[in-house]
Structure 1
Amino acid sequence: MLKVEGITRRFGDVTALDDVSLEIRQGEFFALLGPSGCGKTTLLRIIAGFETPDQGTVTLDGEDLLALPPNRRPISLMFQSYALFPHMTVAKNVAYGLERERLPRQEIKQRVGEVLETVGLTAHASRKPAQLSGGQRQRVALARSIVKRPRLLLLDEPLSALDKKVRADMQLELKRLQHDVGITFVVVTHDQEEAMSLADRIAVFDSGAVCQVDEPVPLYERPRSPFVAGFVGANNLFEGVAGDADGLKSEEFGVLAGRPMTELAAGGKALLAVRPERVELVGESEAGGLRGSVLDVSFYGGVSHISVDVPGRIQPVLVAVQGASAVEAGAKVRVRWNAEDAVIMAVDQ
C-alpha cells in the first residue's frame, strides 16, 4: 500500500534519514521503533507532508504522495500532544475536520456519532477536553483522526503522556480500534513493549537507517544486528570470534553455544546474544555452563530477575524465571543455555 524508497533527509550537517526504504501493507499495524533522534518522526512527517525529503520517493497505491500537499493526502496524523481545541466540546473537536470540508450537517452528525461510539465517548460528547482524563483525551484525538476515514493513520508517540495502567488499557484499545475501522496504522514509538504488543511488523531505526524489519516474535528471538539485540528487550551479550562450527569462541569462556544468524567468516568478530528467560540457573555442582555467584534477586510479580556475577565478565548475566525465586544473593551457581536459544551475529569491523 505505502512504499518508501531511498528517502534521505538532511538538516545541515545532520543526516536524519539515510536511504530509508520500507513497504507497509494494507490494513497493517506498523511500528517505527528506535531511540530519540533516530529519524522515525522525520519519516512520519515526510509521509504526512510536513517535511520534504532531499531524495527518494513515497507512493500510496502506486501514486506519488510527495506531489500532493498535506491537506490533499488521504492521511491523518495524530500528534503526540493530541492538539485538541480547549474551547470546543468533544463532539465539535471531532467534527472540525468534516466541517472544514463542508460536508452536509446531517452526514457530519452521523459520522461523529458513529466514531464517538466506536471509541466509547458518546456520553462525553458535550464535555470540554479539560474535563477529561488523559486516556479520554487520547480517544478524542483518535476519533478526530479516524472520522475523516483516511487510508493511513500516523501516530507519533500516541501513549507517551499516559500513566502505566492507562497505557496498558489504551494499547488494547488501539489494537481493537484498528481492527474495527480497518485503517492502516503507522505508529512511532521508542517503547519496545508498546511496539511488540501493538504492531504486526516493526521497523527498528538507528541513526537514520533501518536496521531490521520483522514481526515481533522473530525480531525478539532472532535479532540480526548488535544494535537490535541490545535495544529490543533485555539481552546477555558476549563478545568473541566466529568458530568453524556453531558457537562463539571467547577468550574468557572458551566456546559458547549458539547458532549463527547468517554465514559467518571463521575468525571474524562476532557477538552472541541470549535472552534472560532462555538462561537456566543451576547448582554449582551441575555440569556445563559458566560458574558464578548471585548478586541480586528482584521480584516483579510474575517474574524474578536474577543477576549473576561471572568471573571474567564486566556485566552480570541476567536470568529471568517465572514467579518467586528460591535462590538468594551470594549463592554459588552456574548459568547455561541451549545452542538453539542463543544467536550469533557478525560485528561490523
Structure 2
Amino acid sequence: MSAVSDAPAVPRTLVGIEGVSRRFGAVTALDEVSLDIRQGEFFALLGPSGCGKTTLLRILAGFESPDAGAVTLDGADLLALPAHRRPVNLMFQSYALFPHMSVARNIAYGLEREKLPRAEVRTRVAEVLATVGLTEQAARRPHQLSGGQRQRVALARAIVKRPRLLLLDEPLSALDKKVRAEMQLELKRLQHEVGITFVVVTHDQEEAMSLADRIAVMQDGRVQQVDAPVRLYERPATPFVAGFIGANNLFEGTVAGDGLSVAGLGTLPARGGFAAGAPALLGVRPESVRLGENGILTGVVADVSFYGGVSHIAVRVPGHDRPILVAAQGPSQVRAGAEVGLGWSPDDAVLIAG
C-alpha cells in the first residue's frame, strides 16, 4: 500500500516568467526577472517607484515587449499573442470609466465589443453587478458614485470578461484610508469568489501584506524575495527586504557562535545559520524587543507615542547610530528620559547575509 501525503497540493503554475529583461536606453527596468504565478492565487509585485513592477505588469498585458526572456500562460507562449487576444485584463489606476455611460453600460462595453449575444451580455452584467454589490446602482453614471463604488465598477468591467489573469495597477491608491481598508477586504473576497488569478502592483506594503497570498519584493529591476506575507515579515532574505517590509531594528556586524558581534555593543543574540566571522545583519522587530531594568543593551528613552492601542517607544543606545524601536501593547508606563534595558529572544532575531 502506498503512503498518502497529508501535505496540501501546491497549485499549478499559471504564469511562468523566465529571465525577463527590459531596458529603456541606459535604464534597466527589469534585469533577468524569473517568477511563477500560481493558478487562483492573489500575487503582489511590491517595491518602491522605479523598481520595475509596472513594466513587468505591462509586459504581461501586452503593452510592452521584453528585450530578453520568456513568458508563458499555462505553458503556452504568451508573448506571441497580441494584447487584445490575451486572456488577460488590466484594471488601470485611474479606473478609466466612460462618464456618459451608466454603470451597466460601462460593464457591458467590452462584451458588446466582442459582439456577444445581447441576452448573454445582460445575464453576465447582472451576475457581476450582484457579485460586486452594485445592482441598485446599475443605472447611475460614474459621477453619481463614491470612490469605492467607482472602483467596484472598474473591477466588475474587468472580471465580466472572465479573463484567466487580472492585472491591477495600484488599484486602491485613489481611495482614502477608510475606504481603502474596506476595498482591500472586498478585493480579497471577490478574488476568492470569481476564482481568477489576480496580480496587483503596489508600493504600499500594508496593502500587499493584507491582500496577497505571495509577494515578490522588487528593487532596481530585480526580485529580492518571493514569499508569503508572514514569511517575508519574519524571515527577510536580504537587507533591502528587512528594511522595506515593516519597521525593523537592524545591526551590522560579524557572525559569532551565539549571535552577531557588533562593534561597541557586544554580541547580540540570534539563531545561527551562517559561518562564524561572516559579515551579516541582525534584524529584530519592535514588537519582539522587551523593556526592563536589565537587558542585553541599555539606553535612554527618546520618545514615546501612543497609536491604535500600541505604544511606540524610541530608545537611544550609546554606540548605535539610530534609535531602537519598541512596540508595546497599551499605554506605556515609561517616559522620555528614563533609562531602560532592552532584550529579546534569540528566536525572535534573524540573521541576514550582509
Cα distance in 1, alignment partners of residues 101 and 36 from structure 2: 38
Separation of aligned partners in 1, 2:143 and 2:275: 61
Report how far residue 53 of structure 1 moved. 0.1
Q: CA deviation at 1:339?
A: 0.6
Task: Give 2:145's aligned residue.
Answer: 132
- Alignment correspondent of 1:110: 123
**1:268 and 2:268 aligned:** no
Query: Is 2:32 the counterpart of 1:25?
Result: no
Q: State the AA in 2 paired with 1:224.
A: A
> Which structure 2 segments of 5+ residues have no match?
1-13
Q: Residues 144-183 of structure 1: matches in 2 within 5 Å?
A: 144-183=157-196
1:241 is the counterpart of 2:254: yes
Aligned counterparts, 1:1-349, within 5 A:
1-243=14-256, 245-260=257-272, 263-283=273-293, 286=294, 288-347=295-354
Q: Which secondary structure does the structure 2 equivalent of 1:95 belong to?
A: helix
Report if the CA contact (8 A) 1:277-1:319 is conserved: yes
* Secondary structure in structure 2 of the residue aligned to 1:255: strand
Report the AA paired with residue 255 of structure 1.
T
CA distance in 1, matches of 2:139, 2:258: 65
Q: Percent of pairs identical after alignment?
A: 73
Separation (CA, whole Å) in 1 of partners of 2:160 and 2:231: 34
Deviations 1:26-70 (A, max 9, x none): 000000010010000000000000000000000000100000000
Q: For 1:301 and 1:282, how far apart are their aligned partners in 2?
A: 23
2:6 counterpart residue number:
none
Between the aligned partners of 1:203 and 1:312, the Cα distance in structure 2 is 35
SS in 1 for 2:210: helix
The TM-score with structure 2 as length reference comes to 0.95
Q: Structure 1 stretches of 5 or more lacking a match? A: none
Checking the alignment, whether the CA contact within 8 Å between 1:155 and 1:186 is kept in structure 2 is yes
Give 1:314 deviation, angstroms. Answer: 1.6
Contact 1:242 1:269 in 2 (8 A): yes
Quote the Cα distance in structure 2 between the aligned partners of 1:51 and 1:301. 43
The structure 1 segments of at least 4 consecutive aligned residues displaced by more than 4 Å after TM superposition are none
Alpha-carbon separation, structure 2, partners of 1:115 and 1:324 = 46
Give the residue type in structure 1 aligned to 2:319: G
SS of the residue 1:82 aligns to:
coil
The residue type equivalent to 1:303 in the other structure is V
Aligned-partner residue type, residue 342 of structure 1: A
Normalised by the length of structure 1, the TM-score is 0.96
SS at match of 2:139: coil
Distance in 2 (CA, whole Å) between partners of 1:2 and 1:274 is: 35
Q: Is the 8 A contact 1:301 1:324 kept in 2?
A: no
1:259 partner SS = coil
Matching residue's letter, 1:271: L
Task: Report SS of the residue matched to 1:96.
Answer: helix
